[in-house]
Amino acid sequence: MGAKNYGLLLSFLLFFTFHFPLFINIPIFAAVNFRLLIIESLKIPMKIYKYPSQEALHEIVKRPTKDARDLTSIVSAVLDRIQAEGDAAVMDYERQFDHVELSRLAVSQEEFERAEQLVSPALKAALQQAHDNIARFHQAQRYAGIEVETAPGVRCWQKAVPIESVGLYVPGGTAPLFSTVLMLATPARIAGCSEIVLCTPPQRDGSVHPAILMAARIAGVSQVFKAGGVQAIGAMAYGTESVPRVSKIFGPGNQYVQAAKQQVALTKVAIDMPAGPSEVLVVADATANPAFVAADLLSQAEHGMDSQVIMVTTSEAMLEAVQTEVAQQLAALPRQEIAAAALENSRLVLVASSDEALAISNLYAPEHLILETADAEQLAARVVNAGSVFIGHLTPESAGDYASGTNHTLPTNGWATAYSGVNLDAFCRKITYQHITPEGIGAIGHTVELMAEAESLDAHRNAMTLRVLKCKNS
C-alpha cells in the first residue's frame, strides 16, 4: 500500500476506533480493548531485525538510494545557464520550478519591515532565545591562536581569519526552515564574515516566509534573495547582476541542491559538506519511554520521504511498544504522508546488549544519535561516528534543531565518519605565519638546503643558501 493511502486508512481507522464505541455505548473496558486490537493491527511497516547476523548489518545500515542517472546532466544544464544568463535565468527557473513570477530577486527593506509585523511576539521571542543560545555556544569556539618557537630564532604561529563572503541556502519547500537561518548566519556573524548572502525559495505570492526574514534580521544577514534549488546555488557560486559571488556555500537541500553544491565545488566555490536526506538513530533500552522514542523517530521521518529512521533496542517489549506508539502518533501528524513514506525506509532492530547497539550506531554513523538508555552518559563517551549526540530520556533531537545551542547542519549519509557539523571554524580559514631571525637561519638553514637538494629543487635550496651566506657575512 502506498504511503498516501496507508496514511488515509490509518487516520480513518484510528478516528473510528476512538470515537465509534462512544456512539454505540460499548463499555469502556471493551472499547479500550477494541482500540488496542485495531492499533496493534496497524503497526507501521518498518523493517524489523531481531538479533541480526553480521551479514544483516550491511542491510541495516544501508541508506535509501535514488536513481541519479539524469541528475548530473539536469543540474549541469541549469548551472551553465545561470553562469551565462545571470538574473534572467534565475527568474525563469523560479517561474518553472517554484511557480512564481518575480520582477526582482533581492528582498527589499519594505519586505523586511512587513515581515516583522507579521511575526507574532511569541515567535520573535523564541527566535531571539534560540539565537542567543546558538551564539553563546559558537562564541565559546573562538580560536585563540598558538605561537611556538620551533627552533632558536624560528617563530611560528597561526590565527583564524574569517571567510569574507559566504552564501547560505535555506530550503523553503514543504517547510520554511527559519531555524536554519539562525544555525548558519549566527556563527557566520560571530566569525566576522563581512558579507552574508542568503538564498531561499519564495512563496507562491512572491514573498519570503516572514519568519525566515525575521531570523535573518536577528542573525545579521547582509542580503536575502528569492531563489531556490539549483538556481540559488549557481547564483551564489557564479554571481549574477543581483546576487554576489561568494567564497563558500552552506546549507541543506534536496538531491538537486546537493548535486549542485558538489558540482560548483569542483571549480568555483567551497561548500560546507556533502549531505543527503535527514536521519536519526535511537538507541533505547527497557528504561526508555516508548512515546518519546516514537516521537523522536517521527520528528525525522516528517522531514522528507527519503529520510531514514532507525531504532536499536535491547528490549523486545520496547520494540513492540514503539511500533504501536508510532502508529498512534503518525495518525495525528499533518505531514503524515511524508512521514509514512520515510518509515518504509526505516528499521527497528533488536540486539542482545548495549555494546551491540553502539557498534551498529558507529557503523551507521548517523546524522543524529539519541541515547535513551539508563547508561546513556557511558555510551556517549564511546561514540565514534555521529553528527550530533543527544543524551538521556529528556533530550530530544528537536532541541538541537532549534534552541539548545548546538548546530543542526550536520553530515548525513554516513559522512559523519569524516566530517564535522557546521561550527565556527567552518566560517574561518587558519593562516600560518613564520618569522626567522639570523639565529633561526643558523638553526635550520642547512637542513633546508639538504632536503631541497635531495628533492632536486635547486631554486628552493638557493633561496635558503643566499640567506645563509648573508647571515655568515654580516
Separation of CA 126 from chain center: 21
CA distance 108 to 102: 13
DSSP bridge partners of 428: 162
Look-up of cell digits 485495531 = 38
Asked if 55 is an active-site residue, the reply is no
Set 344, 367, 372, 397: catalytic member = 367
List the 195-200 sheet strands across, edge first: 223-226, 195-200, 165-169, 248-250, 270-271
Contact 410, 429 (CB under 8 A): no
Among candidate residues 79, 60, 76, the one with its CA nearest the CA of residue 68: 76
Instruction: List the grid coordinates of 171.
Output: 530550503
How many other CB atoms are there within 10 angstroms of residue 161's CB atom? 11
Encoded amino acid at 59, one letter: E
Percent helix, strand, coil in the chain, to 5, is: 50, 15, 35
Asked if 367 is an active-site residue, the reply is yes
Contact 238, 269 (CB under 8 A): no
User: How many residues comprise the chain?
Assistant: 474
Contact 293, 318 (CB under 8 A): yes
SS3 76: helix
Set 131, 138, 368, 408: catalytic member = 368
Query: Which helix (H) or strand (E) segment is 238 a member of?
Result: helix 229-238
Instruction: List the grid coordinates of 474.
Output: 654580516
List the 146-151 sheet strands across, edge first: 146-151, 154-162, 428-436
Instruction: Please identify every residue annotated as catalytic.
Output: 367-368
